[in-house]
Amino acid sequence: MIKIKSTHEIKLMQEAGQIAAAARAAAGALVAPGITTRELDNAARKVIEGFGAKPSFLGYNGFPASICCSINHQVIHGFPGKYKLQEGDIVKIDVGANYMGYHGDCADTFAVGKITEEAQRLIEVTRQSFYEGIKLAREGQRVSDISHAVQEYVEKNGFSVVRDYVGHGVGSELHEAPEVPNYGNPGRGARLVAGMTLAIEPMVNAGGYQVKTLRDGWTVETVDGSLSAHYENSILITKGDPIILTVPPVK
């Protein structure tokens, strides 16, 4: 069942979104050769807890950290740990913040020092595909209109969208209905209504779209070893343009 948020719930989600975005920015600002992924996790957690919120991911179905931190051909759900970032890596930082029972969920892909032209283009196409998708995130459209716009843009640029993992509703639960794939034909799925809150998150591979999960039960990698990028924001459907909820608070 899709939950339509009240004015009060939307306010809490805006606050949760700002906290998640601030944590994403704090971790991203540390990205540099020699920094461990655990240091990125610690930075994000410090920000989240500093706002009186809790990391959404910590303990979620047993997940052991506050952020997902995925390197190069890892797509999503990587564990932060002792790995030191290396020049030329790309690192995906996925953050969730639970504020007063409501979640903000966002992700971005960061360059570690100087990266290849292909890696930079992959990051840029992934990010822009989110914005192409939310052009269709308007009341009266259908969920798959967003999906189709993402896929069309990604494939036009020579990359592929992951099929096994999708965006989703977000609110008092980290994952709510409806699912929001990053591929598919338009005109299908639930009709968008003002008050819906969605996490739109293109996951884009430089090679094929096939992925696999490692023995840890979490980390997802590309089957062909190609690079992967991830970009995500939580948004609110309105009577007009969608509102991005995961933006850092104004200082």
CATH code of the region 7-244: 3.90.230.10
Predicted pLDDT at 249:
82
Determine the pLDDT at residue 250: 67
User: How do the domains of the chain map onto residue ranges?
Assistant: 7-244
Please write the tens of the pLDDT for every residue from 163-183: 999 999 999 999 999 999 999
Write down the pLDDT at residue 112.
Answer: 98
Q: What does pTM read for this prediction?
A: 0.97
> Which segments in the chain show pLDDT lower than 50?
none
CA nearest to 179, candidates 161, 163, 167, 195: 167
Return the pLDDT at 251: 62
